[in-house]
Amino acid sequence: MHNSHKAALVVDLGGTKIITAVVIPDGSVVSRNYCLTLANDGTEAVINRMLSDIDAVLAKTGIKTSNLCGLVVAAAGIIDTINGVIKTSPNLPGWRDIPLRDILANELGIAVYIINDASAAALGEHRFGNGKGVDNLIYLTVSTGIGGGIIMAGELYLGTDGCAGELGHMTIEPQGPKCNCGNSGCLEVLASGTAIAKEAERRLGQGEVSAILTLVDGRFGDITAKTVAMAAKQGDALACQVVARTANYLGIGLANLINIFNPDVIVIGGGVSKMGEMLLKPAREVAKKKAFQMPAQTVRILRARLGDNAGIIGAAAYIFDCNRV
């Protein structure tokens, strides 16, 4: 079988769960498995869980490794794509400089690629989702953190080491709160799901009144971006203000990306994007007001289409691309 017709084996290595899947060249997911990551068990235990899930998926589909064009692992964090090393990952505490490509390639005897999950999702949306066929696409995932991916002239741009696209770590408020990356006032610490929950918590802690507290039965620790979104949908004033604040910061980040990249499309994915137009409409308005007129008129700011499968499908697209060249 020619490589270009072979299926791709894909692992989405997340902080909570590991998804293992087989994807065929038209972007269809033909098999999908998952297990818990249990990252605290340590690197070796997690890698063993990946390997046994890979075995399970291959057994289920009856595909032999010789009939795969390779394995791609998509993970959050700073990935040295060139050398296949996970440098650091916010979701995988203790993972530092793990040469995952070589470890897995030795075990499986196939080509292995390691890629940032948001870069993978950018490629997924470009090949099979809401940016199909455009030249220039920026992908922003707004979730626990904020990640990004860059497609330029139709190709995924990964930078010199393979870690380009850390769009959540633009400083947009130098005096802003400390970010997990060590810097201050990053887009991520101002507009992520975590930021939404924290801002609601902060204001409730000052004694402000809101339906959010009822939704979590008074338990501050249970407040998430989702609870804030639910309260905002009910018209709760504090929740609406928190969403508006998030939309404003997101709009500033989007304006920066419009001025820098003059893209056809910005696709927004991740859990927080499920708020939909309640968040995206004001964010779009801020972005279009702040950016230069010509690129602001050109860009379409859309929600992601592939949802939770964007990373898997995009990672597969990455390996299909590598084999095409």
For its own copies, give the closer residue by CB, 51 or 244.
244
Question: What sign does the dihedral 72-77-83-84 (CA atoms) show?
Answer: negative
For its own copies, give the closer residue by CB, 18 or 100.
100
Least Cβ distance, residue 66 to its own copies (angstroms): 32
Least Cβ distance, residue 183 to its own copies (angstroms): 5
Least Cβ distance, residue 253 to its own copies (angstroms): 9
177 touches 171 (CB < 8 A): no
Helix (H, G, I), strand (E, B) or coil at 76: coil
Rounded to 5 degrees, φ, ψ at 237 are -65, -50
Site residues, its own copies (CB under 8 A) = 78, 80, 87, 135-136, 148, 150, 152-153, 155, 157-167, 169-174, 181-183, 252, 255-256, 259-264, 290-295, 298-299
Task: Tell me the residue length of the chain.
Answer: 325
Instruction: Give the C-alpha distances (Å, rounded to integers) separating 85 from 14, 119, 163, 317.
Output: 16, 15, 11, 20
- Alpha-carbon distance of 107 to 12, in angstroms, equals 18
Least Cβ distance, residue 122 to its own copies (angstroms): 13
For its own copies, give the closer residue by CB, 8 or 138.
138
For its own copies, give the closer residue by CB, 87 or 226.
87
Sheet holding 29-36, edge to edge: 29-36, 17-23, 7-13, 68-75, 112-116
Least Cβ distance, residue 291 to its own copies (angstroms): 8
For its own copies, give the closer residue by CB, 220 or 292.
292
For its own copies, give the closer residue by CB, 171 or 323.
171
Least Cβ distance, residue 237 to its own copies (angstroms): 23
185 touches 146 (CB < 8 A): no
Rounded to 5 degrees, φ, ψ at 119 are -65, -40
For its own copies, give the closer residue by CB, 124 or 165.
165
Least Cβ distance, residue 287 to its own copies (angstroms): 11
Cα 44 vs. chain centroid, distance in angstroms? 24
- Alpha-carbon distance of 41 to 83, in angstroms, equals 25
